[in-house]
Structure 1
């Protein structure tokens, strides 16, 4: 089964997407299952993981409402206030939803790059582990140290790094470090996985397979095919590409792997990681 491990539905009229403004052009509108369905049909992707795009519990409930009615929606990664004393109870409540599969705190947008290493988060993280939920880390290279501390502190927590930790591809060779070393450091931890997603957005316009190849090769070399999962990051992807182009490019960039390894990246790993 082909699975898109990272896509979004949203509606700006809900009012809780602080980053989503009219300046983003075509992204500033509602995106729902009917908009994604043609892309899924053309690529053979059967199921998806919907990932939160607003730091509110209300948006998480909105996504769960969508997922209940949408057969292609295999799971939802939502948001909870992990540093709130009520977080464990909220996690327990959301965990009763069959399609609730994990949380994402949007680390890249927090003013404190070390926030995730705060020991005060332990009750919420323990609740995630107790309910067999996953953790999505939306990070840049500058978050590697704190994320490494966090992942080491909670070895039983399944963690996935979104978008390959957003390498600054548009900067060319000057953007390779410290991203590459950071990826190697995180990949050394067995509970940390990574999404093969978001790379097109980090590249300059006119990117090609050649542009992205060094970054994909490094992710494959460090995490291996068993800890990588493909995601579209649609509709953000539309800022610098499209679903068909990225899907074809990703397939081409891992073409030398075995059939079983490609099947893992394009579906089986996401199914196992998120307990779909």
Structure 2
């Protein structure tokens, strides 16, 4: 079975634009590049990946284009652009041109912006018009404080192709469920919204066991169905809690439990369709 990782990162801290790393666990404050991942990805049987921005700069997006050329498994890039810039349309056009077909979507780091209502600002309407008109997708990097604004943005742009990163970052470690699931219920009413089955293990704190994610995963399948969920590793953030292959196994087990027979969709087809990835199933040798 072909597997597409819909959410992974590379970064090089010495570039100087990863401000959030200063508050990240020490283990993440180093370079994570193709040489660090390729063997793990191959051992896990993952064929392709979508590389997602990790710094709020257009320069980093262009750096990801460079890395994508060094890593044949990368078939798409989700980048960053200044959505508040007066010339946002020209900036997006330039990234599309420079990406040579790699740019599949854009992601502001909304969770790090002080105003939780930022995504709903009318001043961003033009930028979202441009994203939509260019045929790009939108990755929503939000936590629960930003979910109401995301709902309002979806009402303003009902045709926008959106994917919710890391299931909206529920407060799993605190055992809080009701508030999160009520927002997921509202978000799921928008048929163009997809959701990433990613980043859940890293929401756990000791001594909470990884089984704590199961009711959240079950709820995602209830609300989005197997046809709107995309698996992602969230590597290397994942490495603070598990290795690449372990998270893939956990996700496959839960998918088979709550959506039997849907592995091909959750682990490949949905990502290919959502990001319009130009890939073919790899040829496997007969046993």
Query: TM-score with structure 1 length normalisation?
Result: 0.95
Aligned to 1:228: 229
Superposed displacement of residue 16, structure 1: 0.5
Deviation of 1:28 after TM superposition, in Å, equals: 1.1
> Does residue 165 of structure 1 match 2:165?
no
From 145, 148, 152, the counterpart of 1:142: 145
2:71 is aligned to: 70
In the TM superposition, what is the alpha-carbon distance from 1:156 to its structure 2 partner? 1.7
Partner of 1:116: 119
Find the partner of 2:108 among 105, 112, 115: 105
SS in 1 for 2:19: coil
Q: CA deviation at 1:110?
A: 0.3
Question: Partners of 2:246 and 2:24 in 1: how far apart?
Answer: 24
Cα contact 2:201–2:210 (8 A) shared by 1: no
Distance in 2, Cα, partners of 1:146 & 1:248: 34
Quote the residue 1:199 is aligned against. Answer: 200
> TM-score, normalised to structure 2's length?
0.92
> Which residue, out of 107, 125, 129, partners 2:128?
125
Give the CA deviation at 1:205.
Answer: 3.3
Distance 1:104 1:23, change over 3 A: closer
Q: 2:52 touches 2:79 (CA, 8 Å); kept in 1?
A: yes
Structure-1 residue corresponding to 2:282: none
Q: In 2, distance between residues paired with 1:154 and 1:51?
A: 23
For 1:23 and 1:70, locate their aligned partners in 2 and report how far apart those are by CA, in whole Å.
Answer: 26
Q: Secondary structure at the match of 1:5?
A: strand
Q: Rate the CA distance shift 1:103–1:23 in 2: closer, same or farther, 3 A.
A: closer
Structure 1: stretches of 5+ with no match in the other structure: none
Q: Which residue of 1 aligns with 2:260?
A: 258
Tell me the distance in 1 between the aligned counterparts of 2:229 and 2:208: 22
Q: Secondary structure at the match of 2:185?
A: helix
Give every structure 1 segment of 4 or more consecutive aligned residues whose post-TM-superposition deviation is greater than 4 Å.
206-209
Is the contact made by 1:201 and 1:236 (CA closer than 8 Å) also made in structure 2?
yes
Alpha-carbon distance in 1 for matches of 2:206, 2:54:
24
In structure 1, the partner of 2:47 is: 46
SS of corresponding position for 2:131: helix
Following superposition, the deviation at residue 69 of structure 1 comes to: 2.8
Q: Is the 8 A contact 1:64 1:76 kept in 2?
A: yes
Cα distance change on mapping 1:22 and 1:176 into 2, 3 Å: closer
- Post-superposition Cα deviations, 1:208-246, rounded to whole Å, max 9, x if no partner, equal 552211010001110111110000100001112221111
Partner deviation per Cα, 1:42-91 (whole Å, 9 max, x = no partner): 11110001111110111111001111232100111110011111111111
Q: Do the aligned partners of 2:230 and 2:270 also contact (CA within 8 Å) in 1?
A: yes
Equivalent residue, structure 1, for 2:16: 15
5+ residue gaps, structure 2 = 278-287
Give me the whole-angstrom Cα distance separating, in 1, the residues matched to 2:6 and 2:242.
18
Distance 1:156 1:242 in 2: 36
Query: Which stretch of structure 1 is more off in the superposition, 240-249 or 207-216?
Result: 207-216
Q: How do 1:76-87 residues align onto structure 2 when only pairs under 5 Å count?
A: 76-87=77-88
